[in-house]
Amino acid sequence: MDKVLQLKKNLTQLAILDATFEVFGSESHQYQFKPCLSDKDIQVFEYRYNITLPSEYRNFLLEIGNGGAGPGYGLSGLSGIESEDVIPEKLYPENYEILSKPFPFTKAWNDLNLIVKNNTDFVTKNNDYFDDKFIQGTLTITNYGCGIYAMLVVTGEQSGKIWIDDRTNDNGIYPACLSFCHAFHDINPDDSYPNSNEEQPLSFYDWYEDWLNRSLEQIRQSSET
């Protein structure tokens, strides 16, 4: 079966089974989607920011929706796509140029030397730790809560892969692999950091499908108890 059709089938099944929104974050999106984008919409966006969206994400925007049901509190999508002020969520106008710069990492990164303490011993985070250069070439597409975000790499060697920005919790930036998805699905952010830098980041479809499968399993187990 075509991957998009399989995703749609599983989404429909999950929405029916989870009528009371037991899955984490589902009460926010309620399994709804924003309207799909047109091919022209996407071409304008790509031209404006000198990027090419990964094929899986592009197809999702065309055939399923521009944000809505998904991991965490749902997919952000691209905002303002129909206007002249097209901006990806969580990016500001002065930072548009970072989309076309290649994402810098191929393995987990966390330089705690960029975090400093002030004279009162409260931990404060130097702007260097949160420098946009560490998330260049990415679109932030999901908010997991607790200051954890999922990013889709759109430029560079990791294009099409999902990475996690967990700098708010001093955990740096690391691949969204199966161990992360499993830990976060159990709603325990303290355990969400992957155990091994060798784990490979998931592609957009694999990441989204894993969320669907785990959510369906959760609801089925819940109905059996």
Nearest to 13 by CA among 183, 221, 222, 219: 219
43-52, 98-107, 113-122: range with highest mean pLDDT: 98-107
Q: Is the pLDDT score of 162 beyond 70?
A: yes
Q: What pLDDT, on a 0 to 100 scale, did the predictor assign at position 187? A: 47
pLDDT tens digit string along 175-187? 998 867 766 655 4
- Where along the chain do its domains lie? 3-224
CA angle 187, 58, 85 (to 5 degrees): 90
Q: Is the pLDDT score of 198 beyond 60?
A: no
Measure the CA–CA gap between 79 and 142, rounded to whole angstroms: 13
Residue 78: pLDDT band by 50, 70, 90 thresholds?
confident
Q: Name which CATH class applies to 3-224.
A: alpha beta
- Residues pairing with 152 in the sheet: 139, 162
- Token pair 């901006």: residue: 87
**Residue 164 in tokens:** 């996690």
Is residue 76 a contact partner of residue 140, using CB atoms and an 8 Å limit? yes
Q: What pLDDT, on a 0 to 100 scale, did the predictor assign at position 178? A: 81
Measure the CA–CA gap between 22 and 9, rounded to whole angstroms: 19
**Residue 163 in tokens:** 């990475």
Q: Phi, psi at residue 212, to the nearest 5°?
A: -60, -50
Helix or strand run (H / E) with residue 8:
helix 3-17
**Residue 186 in tokens:** 């159990």
Nearest to 207 by CA among 100, 60, 109: 60
